[in-house]
Copies of this chain bind each other. A is one copy, B any other.
């Protein structure tokens, strides 16, 4: 039997989001995390993206388990897609599995899943993998890191973490366990790189408390707090500030309501019944007694905040007396949407509080000094940065070198580049397809680059359709060319341009030639470019009778 451990990065290596990794040992596979991410601005029309785990499709019977380290979307968001291919047991802490269950229920899959709760501190054998779960602090309670022992050695997998000394749930990262793993000798560390470009130490979640308190206290009307639906710690902080200021809290939106309900049921969110009201009740209370909590911190047009800013929310409108708190950083790529949303809400007259004005958000990820502390606590033989774009992975590698890990003991890879730990040595393995899978409408599949390119071209200058009916025998037009155009020019411009095109088309047909259709496309394209310097997609349809 070989003692080779394959580390298979399926998501989150070379990108922020959709984290997923598989460990393979002796034909047994352990998956860690199954996240999703939102598309880039240039992936038009795509709903969301999940990891490409085709490598596991015909090995699904070899998968002994799926561990979810915590309940954020970038770690659980693809679980329904993974389980529908790979029906393995899912291991996670209570809150994490609660959030998994909410998600599966929404996809009609709750009853089928084999969910196995674990607790931080436990050791679980999953096939040939001995997994020690240890607590890490993050912006959600009940997050864990993993010590994974096989005959190939000991791997420490941090998951998302920060070293918060005063977390909201009073449960800091398990330093003692990290030190204990270190004394046993860690062969490989995989550690969260998200904030590898941020100097210093990420502030404690607790610093947000006073800012929320202040914002709610000073709000002349309703306070509306926007964040991610899975930021359970943030819900607790808003609830605490609400109670302190003698207001009532209402969660708005399905995901917020579902997650809050589940977190309360499991005891992760402590809100007395008389402080929590439904949105219907809240809207009938005097505004100065109300706090609303909803999604939309990224300026998503379909979120509550997005709709409030655009004046298209059904149940209630944003009022000039409202105070809106955006409690989240902009995810890279969303800055413009967030800024527009802020400006729109200011234009309505609301007071808007965001990161640049008050400390209403802190990151859930370790900054550089914490990353160095992790490296120094664990003192691994090998280091592999995970969870980050290439720029962050490289930066994390540079930090590891700074604290003395030799350059040849650090491996930076992107999705799809397998790494192998064997006989105490880490080396580059085979390369597998490591892209992404898009979820768009009901279709799940590759992002077809041709389709994306066509969309971009359509978007850039629109379309121009010429429809012709031609007499087969005489090669003459039976009717005036029909012209349709969209996304190209305004109606005003069209009134002068279209007759000119029509004339040129008629000229080509009367001129004859071998390939009239091709000739018309060329003539129309050239003419339109000369007139407008734009290149719409030109189509000619032709009926010969």
Contact = CB atoms under 8 A, between A and B. Distances in A.
Interface of A: 14, 40-41, 44-45, 197-198, 332-333, 335-336, 339-340, 342-343, 346-347, 352, 356-357, 389-391, 394-395, 414, 440-443, 445-446, 448, 450-451, 454-463, 465, 467, 469, 478-479, 482, 484, 486-491, 493, 531-534, 537, 539, 541, 543, 545
Contact of A343 (B14, B347, B352, B543): B14
Contact of A339 (B45, B342, B389, B491): B389
A459 B335 contact: no
Contacts of A487: 451, 454-455, 457-458
Contact of A545 (B197, B478, B532): B478
A479 B342 contact: no
Given A455-B459, A532-B443, A543 B490 contact: no
A40 B336 contact: yes
Name the residue among A336, A446, A489 with the largest chain B CB count within 10 angstroms: A336
A340 B41 CA distance: 12
Nearest to A352: B391
Given A458-B462, A461-B45, A339 B391 contact: yes
Nearest to A390: B343
A312 to B, nearest CB: 15
A467 B45 contact: no
B458 A389 contact: no
B339 A332 contact: yes
Copies per assembly: 2
B332 A333 contact: no
Contact of A441 (B352, B459, B534): B534
Contacts of A346: 390-391, 394
A394 B493 CA distance: 39
A441 B532 contact: yes
A395 B44 CA distance: 34
A121 to B, nearest CB: 37
Nearest to A482: B541
B336 A469 contact: no
Contacts of A45: 459-462, 534
10 contacts: A14-B343, A45-B459, A346-B390, A441-B534, A443-B489, A445-B490, A458-B459, A459-B459, A479-B543, A541-B541
Given A44-B460, A467-B543, A493-B443, A451 B395 contact: no
A414 B347 CA distance: 10
A356 B478 contact: no
A456 B346 CA distance: 26
A462 B463 CA distance: 10
A356 B389 contact: no
B445 A486 contact: no
Contacts of A545: 469, 478, 543, 545
B441 A458 contact: no
A441 B536 CA distance: 12
A451 B414 CA distance: 40
A45 B462 CA distance: 9
A463 B467 contact: no
Given A532-B443, A534-B441, A491 B450 contact: yes
A367 to B, nearest CB: 12
Contacts of A40: 336, 340
B451 A543 contact: no
Contacts of A340: 40
Given A335-B333, A459-B44, A487-B451, A467 B347 contact: no
A90 B364 CA distance: 53
A286 to B, nearest CB: 26
Nearest to A461: B45
Nearest to A533: B441
A95 B456 CA distance: 40
A36 to B, nearest CB: 17
